[in-house]
Structure 1
Amino acid sequence: MPVRPAGDPRDRPAARRAADRLSLAAAPTFATMALLTGVPGGGDICSAAQGAWPLSGMVPMYLLMSAFHSAPWLKLVSSR
């Protein structure tokens, strides 16, 4: 049986592996929400924002949230 290197993801508990995978879902979700909110007539998530300037309100918030939640993706890319 081959010896796995230290820190191999398979040595972590299942709950930790699930949390790592779940953390990857936040950034793309917020980016998609920003896209859907920013496209005119593209399915406004917040009905109160209809007719508002596309770069005010929810779009910048979703973009910032996507940026703040991109750390797991950056960590994943840098480890490869």
Structure 2
Amino acid sequence: MTRFAATGTGNASLTPAVDVTGRLGFAATPIFALMAGVSAVSAPGMTMCSVASPLVPINDMVLMYLLMSVFHLSPWLKLLSRRFATSHHPN
């Protein structure tokens, strides 16, 4: 597998699998953001520290899901930067 990646040649049947894994990267951020929202709604009384307001639903699970969604944001940023570059490219 690494030999094909290094030489740039390979089996054409691998292309659909690579396309699926590339698109799968786009699913992580919205799913983690949704899970953060569900965690925030399902346990509103739980907060990270005792001085936190009960109106701010940030518990440890919500924080984890928000961080995971930020860490998996790169495919979306790459897509947006490509679209911005092509739409503002002078011809």
Q: Provide the identity percentage.
A: 50
Gaps of 5+ in 1: 1-10
Q: TM-score, normalised by structure 2?
A: 0.61
- Structure 1 residue ranges (4+ consecutive) displaced by more than 2 angstroms after TM superposition: none
Over the aligned positions, Cα root-mean-square deviation in angstroms equals 1.9
Figure out how many residues of one structure are paired with residues of the other and give that number. 62
Asked if the contact 2:40–2:59 (Cα under 8 Å) also holds between the matched residues in 1, the reply is: no
Q: Report whether the alignment pairs 1:51 with 2:45.
A: yes
- The answer to which structure has the higher helix fraction is 2
More relative contact order, 1 or 2 (CA 8 Å, 6+ apart): 1
Gaps of 5+ in 2: 1-11, 48-56, 84-91
Query: What do the CA deviations read for 1:32-59 (whole angstroms, capped 9, x no partner)?
Result: 00011112xxxx3xxxx57312212100
Choose the corresponding residue for 1:60, options 49, 58, 63: 63
- 1:3 corresponds to which residue? none
